[in-house]
Structure 1
Amino acid sequence: MTNPCDKANPPKMDTKAKRALSPAQAHKFIEALDPEPDRECAYLLAIAMGLRRGEICGLSWGDIDFDRRVADIRHSYDYMGNLKATKTKAGTRVLPLSDKTIQVLKAHKEAQFKRYARTNQWRKPEEGYIEQTDDSPVISDNSGTRVLPTSLSRWWTEDRAKYGLEGWCLHEFRHTYLTLLAINGVHPKVMQELAGHYSSQISMDIYTHVNMDSKREAVAAVASVF
């Protein structure tokens, strides 16, 4: 008696090593970003907050509370154009906003408002006017419509060379965010909550890897004395 599973192809393992920008590289990249264009604001959200593509596209201005300095991550926008609740309970989270992120988001919101106003000057009444409300997307196209996650990837493919990051993908910014948390000694459980991971294993793996690198550097520093 044969087992039909014997003929089945096993699932492919993801053997591609995940990369992360160094702290210096990340700082240089963030400083090079212009907060006004939607695509560059999206890159900032990816690396400074560790957001997934769908979470970036699903973010609305009503989710940003500048007074409380937090962002409410509640939705994800899929490649079919559906705005849905985050897939897991862990994915729904409230994230603190840094001074830099608040500065970028405020500048982007103002620039977006002005862009909508310019566009409205040329629109006919029957076409409707673009308004910036709590339901408006943080990242939009020129008509005020949410962009698809695939559009973010396309933007990044077009732009990455000018930042000297050829070959890097957007998801590696999320990995960079988590790695920077680990480098700064953030506990894996806190990393898990900030990232919206269902399991702590990913955060623990990153933390362990960074911790081992630190140990190797310490051993090398001592060895150089002898």
Structure 2
Amino acid sequence: MNARQLTTIAVFALWLGAAGAQSAEQEALGQHAAAGQDASAAAQRDAERAAIEQARRRNAEQRTQAQTKCYQLFAVEDCLRDVRNQWREVESRLRAREVQLNDAERKEKAQQRLRQIEEKQASAAAATTPPASAVVRKAESTGRSGARENTAGSVKLRDREAAARASQQRERQQSQAAEQSLREKESAERAAQARQRQLEVEKAAQARRAKREQEKADAAANGHKPAATLPTPP
């Protein structure tokens, strides 16, 4: 039989007591849970937490005892590693149960706070609720005032819509007038330009005629026959 097998057997023997302790732990937790059926949930949780702490102390003591035995074996490190693994396994189960208890406690406290808030709101609503007759009178008054407000609101809305339409009409008229004025201005400018061009054409024609007449007069004065007159351009 090698050292590893001897170590495994030794650890198994050491944790037989741990297994018994775990069974005792589970039995204790079960007894507390059964007893807590008649007690409040908070008392049951306190009892389970106390049992968990007791099991945790017992698990730590068994770890210390098992580690002491490991140092008497040949494969010390293997034995210590197995002891730590066994301890972690038990500790993990205890911690998981603690988490469940804490979650249950948080949920219970949240429900209690919610019930307290609902009770306060119900009390406040009952204290501020007026009699039925007052509610009816207020509803009737509110209905009449609401009708008046709706009528006044409708009149104001129609007035705003009419004012908006009138403003749009004025804007369209102003835009059309501005466009008409621009077209008239452009037409007047084109007419003035046409008249200016016509005057320039007529002035040039007069200058050509005057020049020809002057040439005829000069030729006659010198005893020359005047040249043939070119036809006047149209």
Q: Which has the higher helix share?
A: 2
The bucket for the TM-score relative to the shorter chain is under 0.3
Higher relative contact order (CA 8 A, sep 6+): 1
Question: TM-score scaled by structure 2?
Answer: 0.21
More strand by share: 1
Q: Computing the radius of gyration over CA atoms, which structure comes out larger, 1 or 2?
A: 2
Give the TM-score taking structure 1 as reference length.
Answer: 0.22
